[in-house]
Amino acid sequence: MTDDANAPGDLAPSRRNFLKFGVSSVAAATVSTWIPGAVAAAQATAQVDEEAPKQGERRIQLKVNGQAHVLNVPVNAILLDVLRDRLQLTGTKKGCDHGQCGACTLIVNGASINSCLSIAVQHDGDEILTIEGLEQNGQLHPLQEAFWAHDAYQCGYCTSGQIMSAYAILQNPDIPEDDASVREAMSGNICRCGAYKNILSAIQAARPKMKGVV
């Protein structure tokens, strides 16, 4: 098989592309979450709860990856669980569940947060970006391409959180561009496989490609 057949924009099935799409939703429990087209299809229809909230629930609206959802959720529901269980956006991972590992990192109103520490009702009306929202029309985001090209993952479980933290860092002009500053800014994301060197390389490689990319 030629290198052209495995170019980052190519969607043909292959072992390498299987791994590549894993960057979009690493360590997923089902095959469908590995494939960008399946993710897009899952998000095509807004989730709307028509019935009134039950006792102990509250109706909220979340705009996730550009799609508005109206949901009745328990007042103590965690944002991470709502995204994974209600919206089936399983690319955001549950790691330590204590805000210490960064696997659940996503973007809310332009800022990165640990979604395992966030109550869903606190985000009523917020705009949320998850790892599934980076890929557009079958084209990986520059950060996803860089993580693939630089082998910036091993088991892959932390990768979506690493990418979302990197996304926030590269969008923040107050964070210096040198390696030491990037390492410090990424210190909240733990990679138990120890792929830190390649993660740093991927982030810095994606930096010039992020100009003008949302």
* Per-residue pLDDT tens over the stretch 5-63: 444 544 444 444 544 444 444 433 322 333 344 454 445 579 999 999 999 999 999 99
When pLDDT is cut at 50, 70 and 90, the band that residue 211 belongs to is confident
- As a whole number, the mean pLDDT across the chain is 85
The mean pLDDT value for 209-213 works out to 79
Rounded CA-CA distance 120/153 in Å is: 29
Q: What mean pLDDT is predicted for residues 169-196?
A: 97
Residue 182 and residue 127: Cα distance in Å, rounded? 25
pLDDT at 73: 98
Task: Supply the pLDDT for residue 3.
Answer: 44
Residues contacting residue 145 through CB under 8 Å, at least 6 positions apart: 8, 206, 209
Q: So what's the architecture of 45-133 in CATH? A: Roll (3.10)
pLDDT interval class at 214 (50, 70, 90): low
Would you say residue 101 has pLDDT above 80? yes
For the full predicted model, state whether its pTM sits above 0.85.
no
Extract the runs of DSSP E, i.e. beta strands, from the chain: 57-64, 67-74, 105-108, 111-114, 127-129
pLDDT confidence band for 193 (50 / 70 / 90): very high
Count the Cβ atoms, other than its own, within 10 Å of residue 118: 20
- Taking residues 148-153, what's their average pLDDT? 96
Q: What is the predicted pLDDT for the residue at 19?
A: 44
pLDDT at 43: 56
Map tokens 């994301």 to a residue: 189
- As a whole number, mean pLDDT of residues 84-113 equals 97
pLDDT recorded at residue 21: 46
